[in-house]
Chain A
Amino acid sequence: MNDPKPGFIGKSVERREDYRFLTGNGQYTDDITLPGQTFAAFLRSPHAHARIRAIDTAAAQAAPGVLAVFTGKDVSGVNGLPCGWLINSIDGTPMKEPKHPIIAEHKVLHVGDQVALVVAETLAQAKAALNLIDVDYDVLPAVADTATAAGNATAVHDIAPDNVCYTWALGDKAGVDAAFAKAAHVTRLEFVNNRLVPNAMEPRAANAVYSRADDSYTLYVASQNPHVERLLMTAFVLGLPEHKVRVIAPDVGGGFGSKIYLYAEETALVWAARKVGRPIKWTAERSESFITDAHGRDHVTVAELAMDGNGKFLALREHTTANLGAYLSTFSSCIPTILHSTLLAGQYTTPVIYSEIKAVFTNTVPVDAYRGAGRPEATYLLERLVDTAARELKLDPAELRRRNFIRSFPYQTPVALMYDTGDYDATLDRALELADVAGFAARRAESERKGLRRGLGYAAYIEACGIAPSNIAGALGARAGLFEAGEVRVHPTGKVTVFTGSHSHGQGHETTFAQVVADKLGIDIEDVDIQHGDTGKTLFGMGTYGSRSLSVGGTAIVKALDKVVAKGKKIAAHLLEAADADIEFANGEFRVAGTDRKKSFAEVALTAYVPHNFPLDKLEPGLNENAFYDPTNFTFPAGTYVCEVEVDPATGAVRIDRFSACDDFGNVVNPMIVEGQVHGGLAQGIGQALTEGCVYNEDGQLVTGTYMDYAMPRADDLPHFVVETAKGTPCTHNPLGVKGCGEAGAIGSTPAVINAIVDALAPLGVRDIPMPATPYSVWKAIQAAQQH
């Protein structure tokens, strides 16, 4: 399988999921209405921090159409939502884990925290009833600012009086301090990695039904990982029998991390479904998404890079305060730590690194993984330091990187990860060509003639994805395994259904996985069907995030396919009266080596199910195999992005003139889909750099609560991207040789953009620009620099 015959793999096959999406036949959770459907609405706190003195639901319960009103008191016996990763502080104490109730009972801890659930015959009646609930709040001061949360007079949780969840560190502090003491040059930056709202276009939704007939539950939910939802909800929160709960994630309109987590809404709906006795549907309104979906990023960082006189990196250290929000979301604890600090070597041979992370609670929405999850923050930190260092040392930024590239693999970084393979020179060199860096000087002169500033910014990113080896993850605090599962069901007619634990919410797995299966079995892609998203059909799955689907989910399928082929060979050997060892399988045929005696895949399949001429004494009938694959390492996509901007110093307006990307994703199954993933990631990373910013005021009020104030990038905010996937260095430890591509765009683009703007404005004295670099923000930075 390391060198598959190029049938479907490597081809830009058009997606089979497109037909239903293009014709309005997608089945997203809100599209599904069940017989006897009722509708839910949640009453949410308008305060960032308050005690609930009393809550009176009598009028709401009596309102037209209302079937039930539940408050925190009703669910006080229910466990809180769990966090799936234990992080220990430097002193060995475990992180603080306050209860995360599914409906707040005593206190509300962020604007949007739910205090009641109304179930009614119609949505309009449910919403109308919300207005009839009387909550007596004792409003408390709020702590909303990340930088000043630790040690703040206001504590979000009693168990963390200083608002610190943990203080964690990775690396060799003494070695780093020693290296800094001897350094010829130190570059230092202080910045904020701005808070973002993932804003998948489909708002979160859930529809829960309890069946008295067989004492079972069915939950439709917009999730990236239905089995994980089911396990967490049944075993850790509601105490329900896992095998009697079916979770279905139908078509899901984007996730980007925000639909990984077990949320209060679907959990409360499942709990309530039994009480109400009818299906209950909830769909977030967009402004409700803003105050309930987990947010991303929100780091305050001080970072320093120590170098010798030739720009060789000697050491890196950083201190980050990471905002976790009001409660621990499912993976929140590992994002600023395990998924962040371990990327601080980047593409470079920096020998010692130290990273200290202080995670704080604030009266804001919980923060968790959002496309890139910890790696964009690490890459931003590192690549801003590198371009800044280049300017300070008066070195070309590409040259400074070349002086520090890792060139020998496998490479053990000083921050736990071991890179399997890579070629950073290749992607850097090609990115420079794609970006026509050679022509930049002339373009800059032309811009200046028009009174504009032009700048070039680089980012050489690497990321760790294909998560993750379970034993390593477990040793680092993960409370779950991170393997993946796949089942290959060959039907008597030789058609194949594959059940995967991966979930597709835009990634096109129904197409790409079918390409892999069709190639391996030598059958037509039309004869392969991929099923995902339903715990009632699919054996198990950890789900889709962390750019893991092809490398982990795809490998699980490959291993199941290997078992199918192995069994097929035995069947063919019997049919062909040959020894098992003499049977070869290629191009869909089982052949006796060195002869033209063969049986097709379809013939073998039929024989398996009509086992008349069959070694029943040695082999079971049927042809259905599954595999669980636990990866032996992360995978390490890497590349270089080059951004060129033109800035109008009079208005601060930034225009990206060109954006070039060269990525090494190892082997690629569908080039068109891979490019699409990069485009989407670039758009999000550029959005972070230029337009998006989730803002809370000092009272914990979300100021950017709708699309009116939160600037999502539109088509005319973004340039045409020049994207090239390198031939690449195939991953050494999975049979497909794939590295994953879903998050790279969001990881590498943000620093490239800011580096470009700073490069454009450096002659005016600007050294740094806060994100988002809106015209006002850029203009202010210019004014401030001019005043010095």
Chain B
Amino acid sequence: MKIVVDRNLCESNGRCVDACPQVFELDDHDRLVILIDRPSEDLRTQVEQAVRVCPRQALHLED
């Protein structure tokens, strides 16, 4: 799976970071950094949770 973030929608609420800190991080300027843009399958549950909890729905998964 590949993580896609819509930078127009992302507002650095950081809920994705709470859901999956191995993959999502906010840098010193509060900008979202995708640490692994093609994470392994064992992270799927947490990554899908991150996508779901984003209040702005800024995240999508592509295969």
**Do the two chains bind?**
no
The residues of B with any CB-CB pair to A shorter than 8 Å are none
Q: Please report A residues at the B interface, Cβ cutoff 8 Å.
A: none
